[in-house]
Chains A and B, each alone.
Chain A
């Protein structure tokens, strides 16, 4: 499916979502509450078949956080970028690690680097940061480390 067809299809499925077609791939923004059910539909619906989650990341926009999921279908080879906007003070989102297992490690990375709390994640612990690290999330824009960070 190309971008236009995909957009029509997805508009039917997710009437509340907003779309952005400016980039290379179709972007869809979903509300955090609808995210888990949307992810299940995207993965399991036969004509969509987004079975390959190739990039999971988070962007700190200073006012809010955005989780970005890059999806691809290995059968139809179409792409979709799913975005979820989160509250910056208390970011919480349902995990998708049971749908795409690669999300387990990537969510752990987003958890420690951005402080996003993934609900129902099987093993949400620090993966990269040293044990006993608390509070501060290194990849956020307001993170300061006077010792180790080199300012250019």
Chain B
């Protein structure tokens, strides 16, 4: 079976064999940049389409079905509309920060993709601090949102930004503790090591109840961190019209919108990597017929399948639950999730020391 798994290594070797010192690196930069931008655009189109279809399915509607076959090109048409729209800057706004904010949010969403392992051997940067890189960079995105809210010179935006700031900073703790649980079991921060440690079974199966708890907390925390319903207080369209991006229009709004979806993809990919084995196929026991069958499915499909399943779960949240109030949101984090995840971390540590996991 032809495999795409070593495609990155093959290209790297070929470039090194044919070009002099700085060129392979520069060419690789260009290729990676193009791939990321392409992936970014594709993700935007696919995820927005998916959201609209999932919501339509839950709300007894058809969803977009006019542009192209079953409405496939609806998002492309919407993007075109947003591109040709005038990008307004309010008169009272801080123009520099106002125009900078969407780019910061988007750049962070791009940078955060770097250590993701999309398939076996397909990774941009296997940095040795892997998961720490995620937590560090994702907390920078709050700066972009605060910047947008402050610079808009709009009270709704400011309230939305303040809510978002409080929310992201709080929920990072729980997300961090949930990630730490896996780091303790693996003993390494590197993404490739974490994925390889799950070759004989995913952590969610090997790690007993504490990892289940960590997984649930992780899902709740990242939903809050990406400002998705039921934690979409930063936008809260029925309270703050659109929260921090009330004043944005045209492509600048589209960048916020896109960054939101890419962030969802990234956190779900991380969840799939940490808990569901990344690109590792589903294996039971050792060396059975079942395992061999599973190995025939390409690793990129495994990774994308798990990621999109988690994305679907997050969309499911959004279209089912009402929104929390700001004080309830913070209570949930500081009074419930944080203590639970702390105790859970102790349990995981105990489990790792005693070697109770498989």
Q: Is there a direct interface between A and B, measured as CB atoms under 8 Å apart in the complex?
A: no
